């Protein structure tokens, strides 16, 4: 595909699942809005052929989609639904595509025209409600992604993110904010941000919201800053989760601000100070830092305090 673009894919029960990393010279909006460009990109990485006599001829373009619309799932995520007719065989190809900072995630299926129209599309609209997805991209990719409000789920429409190379970075959501400078954690276009989104209960509703934030330095090299939200365990949850919750709320190892070495990395973790005096919170955030190599543990003990101070919790 070139220009650092690639496709990862696999399949489950005749559904193709894909993750598209767009090439560096392609605009996200073009990938989202141009159905021909979108499927041409898939065809570069996924060989699809047409039988002509005894030969299999690889298809290099399907042209623009014959049908296209947006499906909004239960958690307000926008899925671009497209289909292309294969008139020579009375078949269709359908795709459900969700925009991401780096490109798209895609569900693709072949089938007869009737099966696609009256079965698979209906089934997939239900299936996507159960798709777990976190969002990953470089700072530069996130900046472009968040400009396209029409493609964002509600939880990301409320996110503010900005940065200045080698100066500062700021992230703010309804629940929290993070603000730090380059002397604490390197900042440039190739720094990366991952938002871990998960399903959890909020009062009587199941919601899909940010449960973790991971911020890495240039091209995933160097230190990584983690912020995770844990909820108080229900009585039916596993003993292992209950034990972990006790360690978190009582600030026991590994959440005691003491660095340790594990599998080539030095790691330090802490309970966010907002919860240090509350031993039975409904939820709590942990702050962590990790980097490759055996680092100075006293230096990291000071560093983790700076990371914790950079985070403000609003909920």
CB 159 within 8 A of CB 170: no
**Predicted local confidence at residue 280, as pLDDT:** 87
pTM value?
0.91
**Predicted local confidence at residue 164, as pLDDT:** 97
**Predicted local confidence at residue 89, as pLDDT:** 83
CB 257 within 8 A of CB 247: no
**Predicted local confidence at residue 220, as pLDDT:** 77
**Predicted local confidence at residue 115, as pLDDT:** 94
Task: Report domain extents, the chain.
Answer: 6-130, 135-313
**Predicted local confidence at residue 170, as pLDDT:** 98
Q: Where are the alpha helices (DSSP H) in 89-191?
A: 113-115, 121-127, 139-145, 154-157
**Predicted local confidence at residue 57, as pLDDT:** 84
pLDDT in single tens digits along all 315 residues of the chain: 778 899 998 888 889 999 999 999 999 999 999 999 999 999 988 888 777 777 888 888 999 999 999 999 999 999 999 999 987 788 999 999 999 999 999 999 999 999 999 999 999 999 999 988 899 999 999 999 999 999 999 999 989 999 999 999 999 999 999 999 999 999 999 999 999 999 887 777 888 899 999 999 988 788 999 999 999 998 888 999 999 999 999 999 999 999 999 999 999 999 999 998 888 899 999 999 999 999 999 999 999 999 999 999 998
**Predicted local confidence at residue 254, as pLDDT:** 96
What is d(CA 121, CA 312) in angstroms, rounded to the nearest whole number?
Answer: 43
What are the φ/ψ torsions at residue 312 (nearest 5 degrees)? -115, 130
Secondary structure of residue 194 in the 3-state scheme: strand
Regarding the domain delimited by 6-130, which CATH topology (the fold level of the hierarchy) does it fall under? Protein Transport Mog1p; Chain A (3.40.1000)
- The residues, any chain, with a CB within 8 Å of residue 215's CB and separated by 6 or more, are 169, 178, 185, 191, 192, 193, 194, 224, 225
**Predicted local confidence at residue 87, as pLDDT:** 78
- Exposure string of 171-205, with b = 16+ CB inside 10 Å and e = fewer, is bbbebbebebebebbbbbebbbbbbbbeeeeeeee
Q: Which two tokens stand for residue 247?
A: 């360690």
CB 140 within 8 A of CB 189: yes
């Amino acid at each position: 595909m070139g220009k650092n673009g690639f496709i990862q894919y696999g399949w489950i029960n005749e559904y193709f699942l894909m993750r598209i990393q767009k090439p560096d010279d392609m605009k996200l909006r073009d990938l989202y809005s141009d159905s021909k460009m979108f499927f041409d990109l898939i065809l570069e990485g996924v060989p699809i052929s047409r039988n002509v006599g005894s030969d299999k001829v690889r298809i290099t373009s399907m042209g623009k989609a014959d049908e296209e619309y947006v499906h909004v799932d239960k958690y307000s995520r926008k899925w671009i639904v497209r289909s292309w007719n294969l008139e020579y065989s009375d078949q269709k190809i359908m795709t459900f595509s969700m925009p991401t900072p780096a490109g798209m995630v895609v569900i693709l299926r072949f089938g007869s025209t009737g099966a696609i129209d009256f079965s698979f599309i209906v089934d997939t609209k239900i299936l996507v409600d159960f798709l777990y997805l976190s969002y990953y991209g470089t700072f530069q990719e996130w900046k472009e992604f968040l400009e396209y409000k029409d493609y964002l789920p509600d939880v990301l429409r409320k996110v503010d993110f900005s940065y200045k190379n080698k100066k500062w970075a700021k992230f703010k959501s309804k629940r929290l904010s993070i603000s730090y400078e380059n002397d604490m954690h390197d900042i440039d276009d190739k720094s990366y941000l991952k938002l871990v989104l998960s399903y959890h209960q909020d009062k009587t509703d199941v919601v899909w919201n940010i449960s973790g934030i991971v911020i890495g330095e240039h091209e995933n090299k160097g230190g990584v800053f983690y912020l995770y939200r844990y909820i108080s365990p229900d009585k039916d949850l596993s003993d292992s989760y209950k034990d972990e919750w006790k360690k978190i709320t009582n600030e026991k190892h590994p959440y005691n601000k003491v660095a340790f070495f594990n599998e080539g990395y030095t790691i330090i973790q802490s309970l966010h100070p907002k919860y240090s005096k509350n031993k039975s919170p409904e939820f709590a955030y942990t702050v962590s830092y990790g980097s490759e190599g055996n680092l100075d543990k006293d230096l990291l003990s000071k560093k983790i305090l700076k990371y914790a101070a950079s985070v403000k919790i609003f909920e």
